[in-house]
Structure formats: structure tokens, C-alpha cells
Amino acid sequence: MVPDFSISDLRQVPEFFDTVADRIWQAWWKRHGVAEAYIVQRLRENMRGSDLPIALVAHRGTAFLGTASLLDSDLDERPQYTPWVAAVWTEPDARGQGIAPALIEHACTEAFARNHEKVYLCAAPPRRAYYLQLGWHPIEDDVGPLKLTVFVRDQLLRSPS
């Protein structure tokens, strides 16, 4: 089935910049007291150059559906792993439409196109089963204060989309 939405690099659809910054801040940083301006500053790094970091945007025309990022590092406890799929977010009314899996797959494709053989992702315990279902392989559990699971996708062992 062909998706009825597009996935674009944020550099190509900058009109979504403020929305992406807001969703990342609201979902992961606000509760920790991080200023939204800090997230805006970090997201601006996605607007320079052609390599990492990359912010991806799922959209239906001008309607924002979700976002995901591809970063050099997403877990201070594991600096040896790179790159990472991070900040996967789907708008509540767009969930269940295959948007998050498509964003994640697109981020992996971007990493593999840049000659990375592996891609990493971390998730809290309640999301573990979701990433297993998407073909990610856990390599570590209980990492850091949030007890995250670190997953890997290997280019040679890619799961079918």
C-alpha cells in the first residue's frame, strides 16, 4: 500500500520548523526543565549542511503528521554508538497510520546511504515491544537512569518494511 503522506528533510520544508521544535520540547524536554529555546537552537543544527543531524517531517501537504531525527549521538552513556534514530513523534490524530514506522525506516535509509552499517535507537521499557515488532534488536537493557533499552538495526540484517 502506498502511503498517503510524504517524508521530507526539514531543510526542504522549513515551514514545519516551529512545530517540530515544539513537539520535541513538549514530548521529551519540558518536563525536565529544559528551555524551549535550547531545543530550537539544537534543531537549527539540522538546517545546516547536508550531513547529520537530520530532522525528518511526515506531512500530508501542509498538515504536520510527525517527525524523527537522525543524530550522531542520543545517549550520553553510549558515545561509541552512532548514528541514532531519535525524537520519533506522531501527532495523536495521525497515529496508527504507519507514520512512525515510515519515519524510522526513512531515517535508517538515510544512515545506510551515508555508509553507516548500523543504526541505534533507545527506548523506555514500555516501548520495547514496539521496536522489537519493527525489527530492531536489543543489545543492552537498563541503560542510564531511565533504564533504557538500546536497539540496533544492521544494514545486512534489515527487516522488511
Hey, how many other C-beta atoms are within 10 angstroms of the C-beta on 84?
24
Does residue 97 sit within a domain? yes
Does residue 84 sit within a domain? yes
Give the pLDDT of the chain (161 residues) as one tens digit per residue: 567 999 999 999 999 999 999 999 999 999 999 999 999 999 999 898 778 999 999 999 999 999 999 999 999 999 999 999 999 999 999 999 999 999 999 999 999 999 999 999 999 999 999 999 999 999 999 999 989 999 999 987 654 44
Does residue 1 sit within a domain? no
Does residue 73 sit within a domain? yes
The CATH number for 10's domain is 3.40.630.30
Q: What is the pLDDT of residue 131?
A: 96
pTM: 0.92
**Nearest to 120, CA basis, from 159, 149, 161:** 149
Query: Which grid cell sits at 14?
Result: 522549513
- Rounded-to-integer distance, Cα 100 and Cα 96, Å: 9
Does residue 121 sit within a domain? yes
For 109, the domain range is 6-157
Strand pairing category for 118-123 and 63-71: unpaired
Does residue 115 sit within a domain? yes
Q: What would the DSSP string read from start to end of the chain? A: ---SSEEEEGGG-GGGHHHHHHHHIIIIIGGGT--HHHHHHHHHGGGSSSSS-EEEEEEETTEEEEEEEEES-S-TT-TT---EEEEEEE-GGGTTSSHHHHHHHHHHHHHHHTT-SEEEEEE-GGGHHHHHHTT-EEEEEEETTTTEEEEEEEGGGPPP-
Q: What is the pLDDT of residue 112?
A: 96
Q: What is the pLDDT of residue 49?
A: 79
Does residue 151 sit within a domain? yes
Does residue 24 sit within a domain? yes
Number of domains present in the structure of the chain:
1
